[in-house]
Amino acid sequence: MAELHFFTGTMDSGKSTLALQTNHNHAARGRVGRIFTTHDRAGEALLSSRLGLTHAALEVAPDFDFWRYVVDDLTQGGRIDYLICDEAQFFTRSQVDQLAKLVDELQIDVFAFGILTDFRSNLFEGSSRLVELADRVHTLQVEALCWCGKRATHNARTENGMMVTEGEVIVVGDVDALDEPPAEVAYEVLCRQHHRRRLTAARAKAVSLAPEPLPFG
């Protein structure tokens, strides 16, 4: 029986790498799939991993209809056994419903990959619907780390190294490298404590990693 899988984790936890590996494993067994993504850091119609791997993909616009695409492809003699959907947090609620319909009515496996919450710690529309509908929700075991070394649980948007909590939900950027100057707009994974205190790696470095004050008064 086909299933709808949702693989989730913070940024930098290997979701896109796993998406590429999943596609490779199924294709190696003779299965035929399609790869979808949206707002990838490498550009339009590309699925990219921070390890340097890339694969051509179909770009998903807000009005893209998964059901219509697959039915049209099959009607024209195509074969589709599975779908790989990266950056699925950006999908609309309707698009996730279409993916579930493909699983249930056409027996096509769907493997969706995405982060749960945005830089404000609010659930993305696509991720919320995937949690509601997925047959299986998998939390990635490769833990991203906060600059302090603790497990990162939150995604933060930074502007010149400073964390921001307002702005457009979708702004494409990558995770800052600790040994490089902060980008104008970037993302950083933080533990809950440092996300709550808005203490990014750049800000911590600016204060020379001074001990944080005790939470009194």
Predicted confidence (pLDDT) at residue 216 exceeds the cutoff of 60: no
Digit-coded pLDDT (tens) for 169-205: 766 544 555 555 555 778 899 999 999 999 998 888 8
Q: What is the predicted pLDDT for the residue at 194?
A: 93
The confidence band for 85, taking pLDDT boundaries of 50, 70 and 90, is very high
List CB contacts of 85: < 8 A, sequence separation 6 or more.
Answer: 36, 37, 60, 91, 99, 110, 111, 112, 113
pTM: 0.78
Query: What is the C-alpha to C-alpha distance for residues 97 and 206, in angstroms, rounded to an integer?
Result: 46
Digit-coded pLDDT (tens) for 112-166: 999 999 888 899 999 999 999 999 999 987 778 899 999 888 989 888 878 888 7
What's the sign of the alpha-carbon dihedral 189, 193, 198, 203?
A: negative
**Side chain identity at 142, as an amino acid letter?**
V
Domain regions of the chain by residue span = 4-139, 154-206
H-helix or E-strand containing 188? strand 185-190
Please give the class, per CATH, of domain 4-139.
alpha beta
H-state helical runs in 57-108: 66-75, 93-106
Predicted confidence (pLDDT) at residue 30 exceeds the cutoff of 70: yes
The confidence band for 6, taking pLDDT boundaries of 50, 70 and 90, is very high
Q: Which residue has the tokens 């989730």?
A: 8
Residues recognised as catalytic? 87
Digit-coded pLDDT (tens) for 43-76: 666 676 766 677 789 999 999 999 999 999 999 9
